[in-house]
Structures are given as structure tokens and as C-alpha cells.
């Protein structure tokens, strides 16, 4: 174990323990830190300079955040026209511990060769033995249902939307019927909700443990299964709900990230833990006809050999390791992707998937 002096810490003081993971994105650290899919983890940034653009009031994805961050360098001198406070001040308010000054490239090489592992960072005076005990007492990610921790406890209507170059809401407001979506919150991101509303949808967000009756009583035109943290195979209530909805009928359904994995499990598939996950803004996905550069944040994947070709078609693969990145149910308006098409943060190659979801609903209105 390598020890660092107390002046290597910034942000909040204290101790943080959890799974150590890394993100390769060069931008969007505020969105990444507040992505609920990182709940329970300590995040290493491979990009060496973090904090340069400060923090604003618009880009946080949720009120949930990582336990701690590890960076090469951090800047307390922020410069951006949208900035309202510096990173250090914000981390203190969020109770996020930051560690800086270490060779993050060396750390990432360890995680890539040995896999993501539990760790601890602390600004307090602790012995090696006490830190090792904290690590041993930290539960492994396998088997953890963290979505029920970060999910909303009460349903709510989301009415915000994203400003775009062309007003999608105006285009879809000409439809004779307002499209109503029920979104199941396993750790949903604000930017996903914004994109759905921007496409002319009314979005009612329900807790992750909602029942089939809870969903159908709202008479949705479409159903969305969100991203979220933890082991997908442990989200039994979400898997059971997906099974029931798939069997129920022809309501269009769209899943992202954890929602995608839940669909795979509901369709008879299985998932497995990736050695070090996919977390970044530059992951190529697609098939033989089209390649998309995508934003990703997940530590588990669907086993392609566990899916029945008679029931499911694999539409996208992660072209770095050939894992399943997208699927659709044969003869049903149900599809999902492993990546984040809302691009919060990231490239916009996959935004068309929201159009696809809306088109499936309009066909049935």
C-alpha cells in the first residue's frame, strides 16, 4: 500500500471506500461525478487536469454522486463563462473526498491488468491495518442492488427539456396526442429525462420497485427503463416488471444501460462482470453497417450466448471487446442499448434512438 501526505487531498475530509474504477473522458467531469451509475464507487480520471472549468448550476445529472475522486492534477482556479464555483468548494458541499498528485496512469494500468477492485482513500490519520480492514469489509459489487438506494421514493412528473438547435418539442407538439412515458428510475440521469421531454413526451418517473399495476394504471404510450448502479442480476423487481411488460403486449419500451441489462435478463439471458468496465466518451459501437462513438458507464454486460436468437436480435456490439451493446425483441416494439445516447456528457452519434422510440409510439397512437 502506498501512502500519501495529507496535502495530497482536496474537497471534503474523511474516509471513502468502494470499488475503484476509471473514466477516460476528457470533458464533463461534473456530469460524470453526479451520474447515479457511479454510486458506491471511487472514480479515477485518466485525463490529467480536472477542475479547470469549475462547476455550474445546470450540468449535474442528479443529487447522487461518487464517494471520492482520484486525479493527477486539480485546479482551484476555474475559468468558464458558466462557472459559479470552483471544484474544491463544490466537493466540500457534496462531501466528496478528492485525492490528487498520484500517477493515475499507473493506477489505471493496475485496474486494467487486475480488474476493478475495492479500495479506500482517507485524509485522516489511519494505519495501514485499519485501511486494509475497511477494504476487506467493503462489499463487492457482485450481488449489490444499488438501484433501490438511488431510485426516487415517490413518483413525479418531469417537465424540463433541453434547448436544441431545432425545437423538437414544436415538431412533436403538432401530433394529435401528447405522448406519455412512464420512466422506471433505477438511477436516472437528468439529461435523459430532458431529451425525452424535448421529443414531445410527458414523462412520469416511477420508483424502481413499481409493480405492473403501478405502470399500467398510468396508461403509458411508452415505457422507459433507466440507467443505474450495481449488479443488474440483483434487481429482481425490475427484471420481474420487465418480464411482465414484455408478456403483456405491444407497448413500446426503451432501455438504457442498466435498463438494457434488465431487458436481457428478463428475456432469459445472463450477465457477467467486466474486468474493468466501460467508462468513457469514446467507445465505438455498432454493426457491419454503422459505427457510433458512444458515452458509456457500466461494469456488467449481457452474455450474448445466453440470448435466444428466436426471441432477441443483437443490434449493436462494443467494437473494443465485442460485448453486447444493443438488442431488440423480435416482433415487438422493444429495444435497448448499453450506452448513453443522451450524451451527458459525450458525442451525439446515438441521439437518433430517441427518435426511434418516439416513432414506435406514434405508430401506435
In the prediction, which pLDDT does 289 show? 86
Q: Are residues 76 and 97 in the same domain?
A: yes
pLDDT tens figures, 167-208: 444 454 555 568 999 999 999 999 999 999 999 999 999 999
pLDDT band at residue 252 using 50, 70 and 90 as cut-offs: very high
Cβ distance 108 to 12 under 8 Å? no
Query: How many domains is the chain partitioned into structurally?
Result: 2
Other CB atoms within 10 A of residue 257 CB: 30
**Same domain membership, residue 153 and residue 64:** no
> Of all residues in the chain, what percent carry a pLDDT higher than 90?
89
Whether 203 is covered by a domain: the verdict is yes
Residue 91 has pLDDT above 50, yes or no: yes
In a shared domain, residues 217 and 180: yes
Does residue 1 or residue 365 have the better pLDDT?
Answer: 365
Q: Kindly tell me if the per-residue pLDDT of 24 is higher than 50.
A: yes
Does residue 201 carry a catalytic annotation? no
123 and 179 part of one domain: no
Residue 79 and residue 164 in one domain: no
On whether both 180 and 289 belong to a single domain, the answer is yes
Which residue out of 131, 257, 292, 298 is catalytically annotated? 257
Which of 109, 137, 165 is a domain's end point? 137
CB-CB neighbours of 255 under 10 Å: 28
Q: Using a CB cutoff of 8 Å and minimum separation of 24, what contacts does 168-176 make?
A: 168/198, 168/199, 168/200, 169/197, 169/198, 169/199, 169/200, 171/200, 172/199, 172/200, 172/201, 172/358, 173/200, 175/200, 175/362, 175/365, 176/365
The dihedral through the CA atoms of 148, 153, 154, 160 has a sign that is negative
- Cα 8 to its chain centre, rounded Å, is 29
**How close are the terminal C-alpha atoms of the chain, in Å?**
60
Burial class (CB in 10 A: 0-12, 13-18, 19+), 95: middle
Q: Please state the rounded mean pLDDT for residues 70-91.
A: 94
Q: Which domain holds residue 84?
A: 6-137
Closest CA to 196 of 211, 208, 207, 185: 185
Same domain, yes or no: 252 and 172: yes
Q: How many residues does the chain have?
A: 365
Which of 118, 137, 156 is the endpoint of a domain? 137
pLDDT at 76: 84
**Residue 1, domain member (yes or no):** no
pLDDT band at 164 (very low <50, low <70, confident <90, very high): very low
- Say which residue the cell 450477465 belongs to: 271
Instruction: Tell me the CATH number at 69.
Output: 3.50.30.20
Residue 197: inside a domain, yes or no? yes
Rg (alpha carbons) of the chain, rounded to whole number:
20
271 vs 298: CA distance, rounded Å: 12
Q: What is the mean pLDDT of residues 234-240?
A: 98
**pTM, to two decimals:** 0.94
Q: Name the catalytic one among 31, 237, 292, 342.
A: 342
Q: Note the pLDDT tens digit of each residue in 276-331.
A: 999 999 999 998 789 999 999 999 999 999 999 999 999 999 999 999 999 999 99
Does residue 150 surpass a pLDDT of 80? yes
The pLDDT of 97-105, averaged and rounded, is 94
| CATH number for the domain that contains residue 268 | 3.40.50.880
Q: Is residue 327 part of a domain?
A: yes
Q: What is the reported pLDDT for 194? A: 95
Last residue of a domain, one of 110, 137, 164: 137
- 237 in a domain, yes or no? yes
* C-alpha span between 191 and 314 (Å, rounded): 26
Query: 280 and 312, same structural domain?
Result: yes
Would residue 257 show up in a list of annotated catalytic residues for this protein?
yes
79 and 167: one domain?
Answer: no
Residue 163 and residue 111 share a domain: no
Q: 343 and 246, same structural domain?
A: yes
> In the prediction, which pLDDT does 25 show?
95
Give the C-alpha separation, 294 to 285, whole Å. 7
Do 97 and 182 sit in the same domain of this protein? no
340 is catalytic: yes
Predicted local distance difference test score (pLDDT) of residue 73: 94
- Establish if 309 belongs to a structural domain: yes
Mean pLDDT of the chain: 92
The reply to whether 142 falls in a domain is no
Amino acid at each position: 500500500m502506498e501512502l500519501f501526505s495529507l496535502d495530497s487531498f482536496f474537497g471534503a475530509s474523511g474516509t471513502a471506500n468502494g470499488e475503484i474504477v476509471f473514466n477516460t473522458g476528457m470533458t464533463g467531469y461534473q456530469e460524470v461525478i453526479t451520474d447515479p451509475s457511479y454510486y458506491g464507487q471511487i472514480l479515477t480520471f485518466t485525463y490529467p487536469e480536472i477542475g479547470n472549468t469549475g462547476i455550474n448550476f445546470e450540468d449535474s445529472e442528479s443529487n447522487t454522486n461518487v464517494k471520492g475522486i482520484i486525479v493527477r492534477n486539480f485546479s482551484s482556479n476555474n475559468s468558464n463563462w458558466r462557472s459559479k464555483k470552483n471544484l474544491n468548494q463544490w466537493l466540500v458541499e457534496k462531501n466528496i473526498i478528492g485525492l490528487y498528485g498520484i500517477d493515475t496512469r499507473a493506477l489505471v494500468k493496475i485496474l486494467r491488468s487486475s480488474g476493478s477492485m475495492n479500495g479506500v482513500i482517507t485524509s485522516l490519520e489511519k494505519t495501514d491495518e485499519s485501511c486494509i480492514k475497511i477494504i476487506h469489509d467493503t462489499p463487492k459489487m457482485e450481488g449489490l442492488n444499488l438501484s433501490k438506494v438511488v431510485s426516487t421514493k415517490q413518483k413525479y412528473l418531469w417537465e424540463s427539456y433541453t434547448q436544441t438547435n431545432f425545437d423538437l418539442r414544436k415538431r412533436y407538439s403538432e401530433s394529435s396526442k401528447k405522448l406519455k412515458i412512464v420512466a422506471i428510475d433505477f438511477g436516472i440521469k437528468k439529461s435523459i429525462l430532458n431529451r425525452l421531454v424535448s421529443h414531445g413526451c410527458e414523462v412520469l418517473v416511477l420508483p424502481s420497485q413499481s409493480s405492473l399495476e403501478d405502470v399500467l394504471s398510468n396508461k403509458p404510450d411508452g415505457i422507459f427503463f433507466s440507467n443505474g448502479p450495481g449488479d443488474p442480476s440483483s434487481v429482481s423487481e425490475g427484471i420481474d416488471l420487465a418480464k411482465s411488460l414484455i408478456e403483456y403486449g405491444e407497448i413500446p419500451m426503451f432501455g438504457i444501460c442498466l435498463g438494457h441489462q434488465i431487458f436481457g435478463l428478463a428475456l432469459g439471458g445472463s450477465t457477467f462482470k467486466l474486468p474493468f468496465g466501460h467508462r468513457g466518451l469514446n467507445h465505438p459501437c455498432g454493426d457491419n453497417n454503422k459505427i457510433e462513438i458512444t458515452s458509456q458507464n457500466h461494469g456488467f454486460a449481457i452474455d450474448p450466448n445466453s440470448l435466444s436468437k428466436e426471441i432477441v436480435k443483437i443490434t449493436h456490439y462494443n467494437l473494443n471487446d465485442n460485448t453486447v451493446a444493443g438488442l431488440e425483441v423480435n416482433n415487438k416494439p422493444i429495444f435497448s442499448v448499453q450506452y448513453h445516447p443522451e450524451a451527458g456528457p459525450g458525442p451525439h452519434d446515438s441521439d437518433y434512438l430517441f427518435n426511434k422510440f418516439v416513432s414506435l409510439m406514434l405508430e401506435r397512437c
